[in-house]
Amino acid sequence: MKRVMGLDFGDKTIGIAVSDLLLFTAQGVEIIRRDNPIDLSKSMERLKELIKIYDVDKIVLGFPKNMNATIGERGEKSIRFKEKLEKDFNLEVILIDERLTTMQSEKMLIQADVSRQKRKKVIDKMAAMLILQAYLDGTTKYK
């Protein structure tokens, strides 16, 4: 059985989560940190390794729309990243509305009494988990 990978794509980081084998839950894996927001070569190498390690056959990518549902600069970057993922890995990439996932992650971490410094280290991974879990919840309830 294959897994699904969730990604929270930002200018400086990519938060990564993967599903369990039954496609019920999302677990945070890691955060890829990028020094150069334009150069994706190291990030793509690491993603390729993780896709192989976790036997991923589908990617769910957070799609940051504006609050009024229009697509801004961040959304355009995500669309270009989706196209690159599809081309480089030959996998299906699904865009999932990610509005408010970072704020939701922050709120959950604050409620768990995680310090501000520690929150900064895990928030993107947690956002990837929420993106992936939203996808899993939407697809598995009909299985």
Instruction: Convert the pLDDT of each residue in 65-101 to its tens digit.
Output: 767 777 888 889 999 999 999 999 999 999 988 765 6
Mean pLDDT, residues 102-113 taken together: 67
Q: What are phi and psi of 21, to 5 degrees?
A: -65, -25
* Percentage of the chain modeled with pLDDT above 90: 55
Q: How many CB atoms lie within 10 A of CB 28?
A: 20
The tens digit of pLDDT for each residue in 12-21 reads: 999 999 999 9
Beta pairing class for 56-63 and 3-9: parallel
Its pTM stands at 0.85
Which token pair is 62? 């957070």
Domain extent, residue 61, equals 3-140
CATH code, domain with 34: 3.30.420.140
**Count of domains forming the chain:** 1
